[in-house]
Amino acid sequence: MSANRLIYLPLGGAGEIGMNCYVYGYGPVDKERYIVVDIGVAFPDMDSSPGVDLIFPDIAWLKERRDRIDGIFITHGHEDHIGAIGHTYAMLGAPIYARAFTANLGRRKLDEYGVGPKAIRTMEAWPETVKAGPFTVGFAPISHSIPESSGLVIDTPTGRVVHTGDFKLDTDPLVGEAWDPELWADIAKPGVKALVCDSTNVFSLEAGRSESTLGGNITKMIQSADQMVVATTFASNVARLKTLADAGVAAGRSICLLGRAMRRMVEAGVETGILTDFPSTISPEDALSLPRGNVMLLVTGSQGERRAASAQLAQGKYRGLKLKDGDTFLFSSKTIPGNERGVIRIINQLSEMGVDVVDDNGGAYHVSGHANRPDLQIMHQVTKPQMVIPMHGEHRHLREHSKLAASGGLQSIVAVNGTMVDLSGNAPKVAEFIETGRAYLDGSVQIGALDGIVRDRIRMALNGHIIVNVIMEGNEPLGEPWVDLKGLPEIGDSKAPLVDVLEEDLNQFMMRASKKTLRDDDALEGELRKIARRTAQSEIGKKPEMTVVISRLN
Amino acid sequence: MSANRLIYLPLGGAGEIGMNCYVYGYGPVDKERYIVVDIGVAFPDMDSSPGVDLIFPDIAWLKERRDRIDGIFITHGHEDHIGAIGHTYAMLGAPIYARAFTANLGRRKLDEYGVGPKAIRTMEAWPETVKAGPFTVGFAPISHSIPESSGLVIDTPTGRVVHTGDFKLDTDPLVGEAWDPELWADIAKPGVKALVCDSTNVFSLEAGRSESTLGGNITKMIQSADQMVVATTFASNVARLKTLADAGVAAGRSICLLGRAMRRMVEAGVETGILTDFPSTISPEDALSLPRGNVMLLVTGSQGERRAASAQLAQGKYRGLKLKDGDTFLFSSKTIPGNERGVIRIINQLSEMGVDVVDDNGGAYHVSGHANRPDLQIMHQVTKPQMVIPMHGEHRHLREHSKLAASGGLQSIVAVNGTMVDLSGNAPKVAEFIETGRAYLDGSVQIGALDGIVRDRIRMALNGHIIVNVIMEGNEPLGEPWVDLKGLPEIGDSKAPLVDVLEEDLNQFMMRASKKTLRDDDALEGELRKIARRTAQSEIGKKPEMTVVISRLN
């Protein structure tokens, strides 16, 4: 028995917010059996991943051990927890477990990859459990900003691990299950070895607020509007959709849903019986036929996404609907850091139309889905773990959460992606560092974040691209070099066309180049690059990316 | 006389925050004499302007009328107000007016363009004035986050215009002049036709706070640290530099300035007699020789700029100094929307080193330099203008400020860049729309924002770049097409090298292409593009940018 160990290994989500993927292992060293908790995505940005469609955790380590994976457990249906299951299913091959609503969303994803619905096994809430190798796992309901979020109760021969998933302490979440301290005290009774815990809001010093605090404010806000009202939030925040729709109805309006993701979420909520009393909705066509003061649109795109309904409405028509002077647009959301520019762009476009934009306004119209600092302390106190392992956060969040745990007398550790932690002893201990990273879905192809492909794109964006062509007949240049530019100014400091100056300088070189250089492709390319770079630097003050094509005719 | 009109025309800064440039004109229609207020820059970002070095307002309209410009007035030394004077001086040729500190900074800029110091004429504070064509202009001291900020009192035959510049109502700003309501009431006495007014903080509902509220908090914070303390803020915020340095000295520390911009600002402050009692500073070498608990570094890079001192310290050594576990890093600043990712990157890097990061913390360590909503109302009330023209703001700020003015019974208008407003009558009236835009400094070359150059770079970043080469001998292909890739995956869905698949498909086409197509460069290029795009789409699910080079040998 002493040879067996219990390990925790984050492959994504620890040291960043996004693409959550956590591994637990139990067994003899390097012969552990594994379960995986969540396989999510992160979203690309122009600064670091231009042109990329989605970002996955690099699961190469898991793929090499696929025969030792006994199950994949999805805590809830947010993209950063479930988004990559379609893409990774074939690589891992293990059964997926989730509760009904999450399973419903997951099956839609798998379907796109031609995987049948049985790949996901629907679980009931705790105390139901399932055995997966040496683990026994149950889904304990907890409140969050999407229905049926669950913490996982993971029993191992070494003791009980509680993996919180994303959570907040909401005793009245409107849709989905409430925070139930008795349930969690009960779960803690046999003793909790490790609490692996959401860290997102560790810097938020006040206790979190309930979803139920919003409805009244929102109804009042809508009642004060006399033209069209539009509200946006995360499509997956089903409770908020209901809060908004109910508020709209209370203010005497008909509700119209815009955006595919939003309609799909409501559909999944109804199919799984979670949304039994969502107000009936009207089509965009019907919305057009009603007086503006009687309509409320619920739309996607709270983060300024360029193709979502909110961005389209801000630019003009969407599904025949057009906003105008006197309309009201509510952001029932918080802007995720990094998305500010996109959101502000929309707000200004709406402002140009004369639309009044209402934002979070100090919490009147939005509450977070994550536990704040005092809530985390309550979670520590209720579950009384031997150790707290902070997850779901950037380094600063993990570190702060670890300090918070320590201040409560609990063992803790900052374990970022790739840190394999041995939980077997009385305190967490680093066992090993695993190489981890990000994989990009780029069009239809998976590429590595460090393959150099995206780096080359960024360089072309920053520096432009010069293409130099020379044709050689044997070892003699045939004609003069030919230059093409992309993303570069046509005229440089000498006021002559940049192409002409480059071609002239390159031709000068070709005419005086040694036979030895002309014979050797590498040497020739090197010289051509050097000259083109030097000329570009002096003409336009930049060092462009360079492609040199040497064609040799025989 | 009735033929004369007074006009206001923003060329930058109205409908955006940044690159301020405002024109006032007086005279017969299309024969007005002009003055220009501020010529600033904006900063590029990867999303919309990759590779660009600086963004200027497009001053083509002014250039065409350069013989009618009687002066350029710079309200204060922030880059978004003064940053483009070096670049534009030769194009406009008019004398520049500024107060001593601003002039000192401006002359350093002009010097880089080989323009002598006399191009800027140093002005004393109001009531000194200067005549510039039909205008008489004075610099009225007002508080802001850089010394000697001034509102302009612009007297015209049609009445007095007050152009606030950037301002806040700080009665104890520590460095620079205080808000003096009596002075401004005095200025208002003859009657103010138009108040052209900063709108930045119109959404901040509480009255602004004084610089003097920070020192005590910062001293306490530093006293509680026992290792190295680092603080960052805008280099140009000379008062804050003093607040921070004084707090450091009060806490028993020696001060070391890191970052060129910061040293230059303190230098300018001392040279112009504004900073008479700045604590003496030590060199990085001296800082290294002192106990860490006795040192405080003041560093550039509060906005996460990649090359600034803060970013360098977060990545490792800077000037021999290295942060470590237990050090404290204070952001005495607010992150400008759009800069969040860069700032968060630094915070996480510092967290990895074990450095405790302290941020604004609800206002304890930072106050804004702009007037909040209630302060704007005070400004309206003190100056009692006939009309308020909101400036220095995005569309949403201008619109809100205009509503605020209207709620106080004042005439107002939302005038974004390019809106020429006639101020002659009793209410502002749109006279004309002028085409405006942005010019980019790209390396050493000025390019237009709409030239397509930056668009091509963005496309290469999003889509990658395929280069296709074919050589024709007369009307027959000589050899097979040759393909190069940049920023694209090597292997596509068919698992064969993408280059090979592309070359094969292109070659197939070349072999069966009609004589007519082969003879016609445009037709041939069009077909090659079409095939390469189609193949790329099916192999990698992307549509790359394309450069096709057809070489014809005779």
Chain A: closest CA distance from residue B491 (Å): 8
Amino acid letter, A336: I
Cα separation, B92 vs A353, whole angstroms: 35
The pTM of the full predicted model, rounded to 2 decimals, is: 0.95
A16: left (phi over 0), alpha (psi -120 to 50) or beta: beta
Strand A328-331 relative to strand A229-232, pairing: parallel
Say which residue the tokens 């309206």 belong to. B380
Work out the average pLDDT over A88-112. 96
**Residue A130, beta-bridge partner list:** A137
User: What's the pLDDT at B2?
Assistant: 52
User: What's the pLDDT at A2?
Assistant: 52
Nearest to B547 among A347, A467, A553 (CB): A467
Nearest to B458 among A461, A467, A492 (CB): A461
**Residue A26, beta-bridge partner list:** A6, A33
CA atoms lying within 13 Å on the CB side of residue A293? 5
Domain borders along chain B are 4-206+368-451, 211-358, 464-553
SS3 call for B483: strand
Cα separation, B143 vs B176, whole angstroms: 7
B454 in A contact zone (CB under 8 Å)? yes
What is the DSSP secondary structure assignment for residue B161, as one 8-state letter? E
Cα separation, A139 vs A149, whole angstroms: 9
A191 in B contact zone (CB under 8 Å)? no
Kindly report the CATH number that applies to the domain delimited by A464-553. 3.10.20.580
Cα separation, A444 vs B541, whole angstroms: 5
Q: Which two tokens stand for residue B231?
A: 């603080």
**Alpha helices (runs of H) in A272-385, residue ranges in sequence order:** 284-289, 309-315, 340-353, 373-383
Contacts of A514 (CB under 8 A, 6+ apart): none
Please choose, from the candidates A173, A531, A224, the residue with its C-alpha nearest in 3D space to the C-alpha of residue A361: A224
Is-same-fold flag (A4-206+368-451; A464-553)?
no
Report CB contact under 8 Å: A454, B478: no
Please choose, from the candidates A17, A28, A534, A100, the residue with its C-alpha nearest in 3D space to the C-alpha of residue A274: A100
Residues in B 119-138 with any Cβ partner in A closer than 8 A: none
Give the pLDDT confidence of A275-292 residue by residue, as tens digits.
988 999 999 999 999 999
Residues of B in contact with A340 (CB under 8 A): 337-338, 340
Residues in B 521-550 with any Cβ partner in A closer than 8 A: 540-542, 545, 547, 549
Strand stretches in B212-262, DSSP E: 229-232, 254-258
Strand B295-299 relative to strand B229-232, pairing: parallel
Report CB contact under 8 Å: A396, B351: yes
Cα separation, B258 vs B81, whole angstroms: 24
- Scored b (16 or more CB within 10 A) or e, B485-510 reads bbbbbebbeeeebbbebbbebbbebb
Q: Is residue A421 over pLDDT 80?
A: yes
Handedness of CA B335, B340, B345, B347 (dihedral sign): positive
**Alpha helices (runs of H) in A236-281, residue ranges in sequence order:** 238-250, 260-271
CA A553 to chain centre: 51
Please choose, from the candidates B349, B291, B285, B348, the residue with its C-alpha nearest in 3D space to the C-alpha of residue B321: B285
* Residue of A325, A396, A441 to mutate, interface with B, max B Cβ within 10 Å: A396
Q: Which two tokens stand for residue A418?
A: 């790739």
Cα separation, A216 vs A249, whole angstroms: 12
B465 in A contact zone (CB under 8 Å)? yes
Please choose, from the candidates A285, A301, A388, the residue with its C-alpha nearest in 3D space to the C-alpha of residue A343: A301
Chain A: closest CA distance from residue B353 (Å): 10
CB pairs under 8 A between A and B: 185
SS3 call for B60: helix
User: What's the pLDDT at A363?
Assistant: 86
Nearest to B489 among A15, A338, A442 (CB): A442
Residues of B in contact with A344 (CB under 8 A): 337, 394
Q: Which two tokens stand for residue A519?
A: 């014979």
**Residue A475, beta-bridge partner list:** none
**Residue B524, beta-bridge partner list:** none
Work out the average pLDDT over A118-146. 98
Nearest to A487 among B344, B347, B456 (CB): B456
Count of C-beta atoms within a 10 Å radius of residue A254:
17
Report CB contact under 8 Å: A471, B553: yes
Residues in B 483-512 with any Cβ partner in A closer than 8 A: 484, 486-489, 491-493
Cα separation, A390 vs A523, whole angstroms: 54
Cα separation, B179 vs B198, whole angstroms: 15
Cα separation, A457 vs A543, whole angstroms: 15
Cα separation, B134 vs B6, whole angstroms: 10
A444 in B contact zone (CB under 8 Å)? yes
Nearest to A396 among B348, B451, B465 (CB): B348
Give the chain B residue whose CA is nearest to the CA of A543.
Answer: B443
Q: In this structure, are residues A139 and A150 in contact, taking their beta carbons and an 8 Å threshold?
A: yes
Strand B254-258 relative to strand B545-553, pairing: unpaired
Give the architecture (CATH level 2) of A211-358.
Answer: 3-Layer(aba) Sandwich (3.40)
Cα separation, B79 vs B12, whole angstroms: 13
Amino acid letter, A450: L
Cα separation, A351 vs B395, whole angstroms: 6
Report CB contact under 8 Å: A547, B467: yes
Q: Which two tokens stand for residue A263?
A: 């309609």
Cα separation, A236 vs A146, whole angstroms: 6
Cα separation, B297 vs B360, whole angstroms: 18
Kindly report the CATH number that applies to the domain delimited by B4-206+368-451. 3.60.15.10
Contacts of B457 (CB under 8 A, 6+ apart): A460, A461, A462, A464, A486, A487, B50, B51
Report CB contact under 8 Å: A549, B484: yes
Strand A254-258 relative to strand A229-232, pairing: unpaired
Strand stretches in A44-83, DSSP E: 54-57, 69-73
Chain A: closest CA distance from residue B492 (Å): 6
Residue-by-residue DSSP string for B387-452: EEEEESB-HHHHHHHHHHHHHTT-EE----TTEEEE-SSSS-EEEEE----EEEEETTEEEETTSS
Q: Which two tokens stand for residue A250?
A: 């209370």
Report CB contact under 8 Å: B464, A45: no
Say which residue the tokens 């923003």 belong to. B10
Cα separation, B142 vs B195, whole angstroms: 14
B467 in A contact zone (CB under 8 Å)? yes
Residues of B in contact with A15 (CB under 8 A): 348
Cα separation, A295 vs A257, whole angstroms: 11
Total H helices, total E strands in chain B: 17, 27
Please choose, from the candidates B61, B35, B27, the residue with its C-alpha nearest in 3D space to the C-alpha of residue B417: B61
Residues in B 52-111 with any Cβ partner in A closer than 8 A: none
Question: In terms of C-beta density within 10 A (0-12 exposed, 13-18 middle, 19 or more buried), how is residue B319 classed?
Answer: middle
Please choose, from the candidates B439, B338, B370, the residue with its C-alpha nearest in 3D space to the C-alpha of residue B40: B439
Report CB contact under 8 Å: A340, B340: yes
SS3 call for A192: strand
Please choose, from the candidates A203, A141, A135, A198, the residue with its C-alpha nearest in 3D space to the C-alpha of residue A388: A198
ipTM of the complex: 0.94
Angle at B339 between CA B333 and CA B344, to 5 degrees: 80
Report CB contact under 8 Å: B465, A462: no
A367: left (phi over 0), alpha (psi -120 to 50) or beta: beta
Count of C-beta atoms within a 10 Å radius of residue B468:
22
Residues of A in contact with B329 (CB under 8 A): none
Question: In terms of C-beta density within 10 A (0-12 exposed, 13-18 middle, 19 or more buried), how is residue A352 classed?
Answer: middle
Give the chain B residue whose CA is nearest to the CA of A536.
Answer: B443
R_g (Cα) of chain A, nearest Å: 28
Please choose, from the candidates B289, B305, B287, the residue with its C-alpha nearest in 3D space to the C-alpha of residue B297: B287
Q: In this structure, are residues A299 and A309 in contact, taking their beta carbons and an 8 Å threshold?
A: yes
**10-residue mean pLDDT series, chain B (554 residues):** 87 96 97 98 95 96 97 97 96 96 96 96 98 98 97 98 98 94 97 98 96 96 96 95 96 96 92 91 96 97 94 94 97 93 96 94 91 98 98 98 98 98 97 96 94 97 98 92 97 96 98 95 97 98 97 86
Report CB contact under 8 Å: A464, B51: yes
Count of C-beta atoms within a 10 Å radius of residue A151:
29
Give the chain B residue whose CA is nearest to the CA of A53.
Answer: B462
